[in-house]
Chain A
Amino acid sequence: MAKTPDRWSRLLPLMVLLVALAIWAALSLLRVFPESVFPSPLSVLKGFGEEFRSGRLFNDLIASLFRVASGFALAVALGLPLGLWLGHGARARRALLPAVNFFRNLSPLAWIPFAILWFGIGDLPAIFLIFMASFFPIVLATVAAVASIPLVYFRVAQDYGFRGAELLTQVTLPAIAPQVITALRVTAGLAWVVVVAAEMIAGRDGLGFAIWDARNGLRMDLLVCGMIVIGLIGVLIDRLLVQLMRLPSVRWGYER
């Protein structure tokens, strides 16, 4: 257990933020770069006001979140069962794991041309790309987690009369939960990175498109607004998933 930080160390991140803002403001005041390629904090703040009034950034945010949620949910819904199957079956593992590894190491961005050709522009190509980015890491993490379950748990389950589906729901799933939750955190971060890239090329809305649009309209202040929102939402998603690690029945995976 980490020591509870005192009041000063609680304020440290805030101080770092203030220092960063000060450096940013100083650079723009000193005109190190021209205002057109290096927006000042004030113009970004005005940009936020503009976006807030038009409601456009909010709509883009909803569009991106919808795509990430759909693609990620699909990847979990299909990747977890496949991982369980491969984890338990040596033969299936030998047959399929090299292929899964291949796709795991293929950047999902390489699929962008096909995503557009197959699914056009809009939600579908982005969901497809997010799926391709998250599915394979989830499968691999699940396989690894299943393979590392100590045999003794299954022997105990046998001694105490667990049968069939009970073995899955009461032994395998709780035993892999801590590792899978960690993998979900990593993969959700990956999905959030990918949605921005996908929307830049295959989108008509979404945060990625908002950035691309701002660049085309030479509105660097709005571009920075988009960047700030993307970063903050990414942190927020991770904070939400961290809550899963607080479940009492998974603490053992992180504390010993």
Chain B
Amino acid sequence: MKDNPLTLEDKPLSLEDVGCAFGAVSVFDHLSMSIEDGEFVAVVGPSGCGKTTLLNLLSGFIKPTSGRVLSRGRVRMVYQQDGLFPWQTLAQNISLGLRHVKDEAERARQLGEMLSLINLEKFADHYPHQLSGGMRQRAELARALAGDTDILLLDEPFSALDYLTRLRLRREFARMLYELPRTVVLVTHDIEEAAQLADRVVVLSDRPATIRRELKLDLPRPRDPTHTVVVDAVHRILTELGLEQDNKVMSLESRV
């Protein structure tokens, strides 16, 4: 296979004809996709279709059976829950993201910035088990964003939270990205979350997963979950997954 450095290696993240199998189970077979600089891509699909495997491939945690995964710059992952080190305070945890910053004063300044970005300055010396689930996830986002990360990979970062906290964190995360733009890949089973946050939603099929559909959302972020463009996208994704059949959607579909 011939490389095409001019286009692919220009992208911060790309999968090139990737196959991935665990034993006899093929998760991906000839999957290709690439992500633009500063783009926010959400990946949705039926459970067990390989969304998390996709993130693990992108992060380099697992190697593809065939094909190539290319990434450029500092890549960090945000996990569903309990990714903070429980033996470290909030400030120490966020400082993990600044380990490569050699100058101590600069590190302290950036830590202060991250703490104020997530409004948890008062809790800097608290340990994770002393904080609520929402606070912990905010701290995880801050840790991943700290120190000029290039690419964020998020594995259902809000799914362990209650609905209202989830809505609040979505909005907060969109605001953080507005201040510190990053290239993001979000894996989620929350269709609304995908439609509210992402520039592009990739809908995967069952295993071996292929891209069933890609949806572009031309609306600047941050957005409201009830904006018509978001609601429309939710309808279309649900229809794509065979979970919605009412007439309203049909009419929206036919209108496009």
Contact = CB atoms under 8 A, between A and B. Distances in A.
A113 interface: no
A13 interface: no
B129 A255 contact: yes
A156 B79 contact: yes
Interface in B135-151: none
A17 to B, nearest CB: 37
A192 B82 CA distance: 38
A249 interface: yes
A118 interface: no
B87 A250 contact: yes
Nearest to B95: A160
Nearest to A175: B87
Contact of A150 (B76, B77, B82, B127): B82
A249 B83 CA distance: 16
B87 to A, nearest CB: 4
Contacts of A248: 127
Interface of B: 59, 61, 75-77, 79, 82-83, 85-88, 96-97, 99-100, 127-129
Q: Tell me whether chain B's interface is mostly helix, strand or loop, or mixed.
A: loop
B154 to A, nearest CB: 12
A249 B79 CA distance: 22
A160 B129 contact: no
A160 B99 contact: yes
Nearest to A174: B87
Contact of A252 (B59, B61, B100, B127): B127
A160 B97 contact: yes
Nearest to B61: A155
Given A153-B85, A156-B85, A174-B85, A251 B99 contact: no
